[in-house]
């Protein structure tokens, strides 16, 4: 199995007529994802790589039965794109766009809570269920089908973790990039729960970083609910307090949001925390014998 996306996912690409949207629509299509529609207001009737373009999400969904949307539009239009997806009843929305204002996400979160739509992102690389479907910008060729679920706040570190797993012949069930902004749609706990319910996921990698309290909340959930082995990595050990490092949410605002504090809390919850991502494969080779 896989979580969130699979071979039955029917994908709609918002911003498909732009440079990034068109490029990644083609890459997702080449991977085997069913890209059934694109949406760019005012450009309905066109097609991109054989993918029909519509003016609205409602129209695209009615014609193509799309159930998932991925967003490649500028930050100033991203809020409206997400709200349009929620209004249209999309099951899953993945927002690749970075730079969304925090107040936009506050409004989006309020609307999400009254809907059935799940949002991944913003400012995320998307997700992939190897061999079945990929949505976003993750490089498909470094993944291989298998039994390790990967969740990460960092796109680049996701790729490093996956590459090391694949090079050691350890495949992945699904890999989810949550995004590094202070307010995001889906967090660690929700994906941990999905991996726990997936019978084909035998182990989990969790990649966190400084800032916020998502890792602390996840640690409590792991201690109480997760029975599968979890290996963790926390980025930002050398980051100075009060200085943002990379992601908008990666800033130490208190002692509890430092890398050292998060590592300790995760270890107390039973997570094996590594110093470097390349240590992860050896741990799973032992745990899953």
In CATH, what number is assigned to the domain containing residue 158?
3.40.50.261
- Per the model's pLDDT, the better-predicted residue between 255 and 73 turns out to be 73
Asked if the structure places residue 54 within a domain, the reply is: yes
pLDDT score at 99: 94
Q: Are residues 272 and 228 in the same domain?
A: yes
Q: Are residues 151 and 271 in the same domain?
A: yes
Q: Are residues 45 and 162 in the same domain?
A: no
Asked if the structure places residue 134 within a domain, the reply is: no
Identify the residue whose tokens are 């504090």. Answer: 261
pLDDT tens, position by position, 3-16? 999 999 999 999 99
And the tokens for 161? Answer: 């973790």
C-beta separation of 66 from 10 below 8 A: yes
Q: Of 71, 91, 120, which residue is a domain's last?
A: 120
Q: Are residues 112 and 22 in the same domain?
A: yes
Q: Which domain holds residue 150?
A: 139-287
**172-177 and 145-152: which strand pairing?**
parallel
234-252: average pLDDT = 58
Q: Are residues 88 and 208 in the same domain?
A: no
Q: Are residues 169 and 112 in the same domain?
A: no
Q: Which DSSP state fits 185?
A: S
Give the predicted TM-score (pTM) of the model. Answer: 0.93
DSSP characters for 112-180?
Answer: HTTSS-EEE-SS--EEEETTTEEEES--GGG--EEEEEEEES-HHHHHHHHHHHHHTT--EEEEEE--S
Q: What torsion, rounded to 10 degrees, do the Cα atoms 165, 167, 173, 176 define?
A: 60
Q: Are residues 92 and 165 in the same domain?
A: no
Please, what is the average pLDDT of the chain? 92
Residue 123 to residue 20: CA distance in whole angstroms: 14
Query: pLDDT-based confidence at 235, cuts 50/70/90?
Result: confident
Q: Tell me the Ramachandran region of residue 270: left when phi exceeds 0, alpha when psi lies from -120 to 50, beta otherwise.
A: left
pLDDT tens, position by position, 178-222? 998 989 999 999 999 999 999 999 999 999 988 788 999 999 999
Q: Tell me the Ramachandran region of residue 177: left when phi exceeds 0, alpha when psi lies from -120 to 50, beta otherwise.
A: beta
Asked if the structure places residue 132 within a domain, the reply is: no
Q: Are residues 114 and 28 in the same domain?
A: yes
Q: Are residues 90 and 144 in the same domain?
A: no
94-101: average pLDDT = 96
Least-confidence region, from 33-42, 242-251, 257-266: 242-251
pLDDT score at 210: 81
Tally of structural domains, the chain: 2
* pLDDT at residue 138 is higher than 90: yes
Asked if the structure places residue 18 within a domain, the reply is: yes
pLDDT score at 260: 87
pLDDT score at 3: 97
Asked if the structure places residue 3 within a domain, the reply is: no
* pLDDT at residue 224 is higher than 50: yes
Asked if the structure places residue 28 within a domain, the reply is: yes
Cα atoms found within 13 Å of the Cα of residue 156, Cβ hemisphere only = 4
- Active-site residue list: 247
Q: Are residues 198 and 265 in the same domain?
A: yes
* pLDDT at residue 249 is higher than 50: no
Asked if the structure places residue 237 within a domain, the reply is: yes
- Per the model's pLDDT, the better-predicted residue between 243 and 187 turns out to be 187
C-alpha closest to that of 155 among 172, 132, 178: 178
Q: Are residues 97 and 147 in the same domain?
A: no
Residue 170 to residue 230: CA distance in whole angstroms: 15
Asked if the structure places residue 129 within a domain, the reply is: no
Q: Are residues 177 and 281 in the same domain?
A: yes
Residue 169 to residue 32: CA distance in whole angstroms: 22
């Amino acid at each position: 199995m896989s979580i969130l996306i699979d071979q039955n996912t029917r994908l709609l690409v918002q911003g498909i007529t732009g440079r990034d949207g068109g490029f990644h629509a083609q890459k997702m299509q080449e991977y085997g994802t069913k890209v059934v529609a694109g949406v760019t207001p005012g450009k309905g009737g066109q097609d991109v790589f054989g993918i029909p373009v519509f003016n609205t999400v409602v129209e695209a969904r009615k014609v193509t039965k799309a159930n998932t949307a991925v967003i490649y539009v500028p930050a100033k239009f991203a809020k409206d794109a997400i709200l349009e997806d929620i209004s249209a009843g999309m099951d899953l929305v993945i927002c690749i766009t970075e730079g969304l204002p925090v107040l936009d996400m506050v409004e989006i979160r309020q609307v999400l809570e009254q809907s059935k739509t799940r949002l991944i992102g913003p400012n995320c690389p998307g997700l992939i269920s190897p061999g079945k479907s990929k949505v976003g910008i993750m490089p498909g060729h470094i993944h291989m089908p298998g039994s390790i679920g990967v969740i990460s706040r960092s796109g680049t570190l996701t790729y490093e973790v996956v590459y090391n797993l694949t090079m050691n012949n350890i495949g992945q069930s699904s890999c989810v990039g949550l995004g590094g902004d202070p307010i995001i749609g889906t967090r660690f706990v929700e994906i941990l729960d999905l991996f726990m319910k997936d019978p084909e996921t035998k182990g989990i990698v969790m990649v966190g970083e400084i800032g916020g309290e998502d890792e602390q909340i996840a640690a409590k959930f792991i201690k109480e609910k997760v029975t599968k082995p979890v290996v963790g990595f926390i980025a930002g050990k050398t980051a100075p307090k009060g200085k943002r490092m990379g992601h908008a949410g990666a800033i130490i605002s208190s002692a509890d949001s430092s890398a050292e504090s998060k590592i300790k809390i995760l270890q107390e919850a039973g997570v094996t925390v590594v110093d470097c991502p390349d240590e992860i494969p050896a741990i799973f080779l032992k745990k899953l014998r």
